[in-house]
Amino acid sequence: MSRQVGDRYACDKCGAQLVYEKPCPCPSDSMPHSEICCGEQMKMVQAGTPENMKKG
């Protein structure tokens, strides 16, 4: 899946968040995407999700 403007990813370990300000033009089928923090794939979250609201 390609990344769109506003897509937000959060790290479960440290709470850092990454937000796409420009869409990713890469073809999603032939090029895998990953957002890595603390050695693990970050998880997509909704905008405004507080970092202390971790699942688990």
Check if the beta carbon of residue 33 is closer than 8 Å to that of residue 23: no
Give the model confidence (pLDDT) of 1-56 as tens digits: 688 899 999 999 999 999 999 998 887 677 788 899 999 999 999 876 555 544 44
Neighbours of 26 (CB within 10 A): 12
User: DSSP states of the chain as a string?
Assistant: ----TT-EEE-TTT--EEE-SS---S-TTTS----EETTEE-EEE-TT--TT----
Domain boundaries, the chain: 1-46
- The pLDDT assigned to 56 comes to 44
- The pLDDT assigned to 45 comes to 94
Q: What distance in Å separates the CA atoms of residue 30 and residue 43, rounded to the nearest whole number?
A: 21
- What's the predicted TM-score (pTM) here? 0.73
CATH number of 1-46: 2.20.28
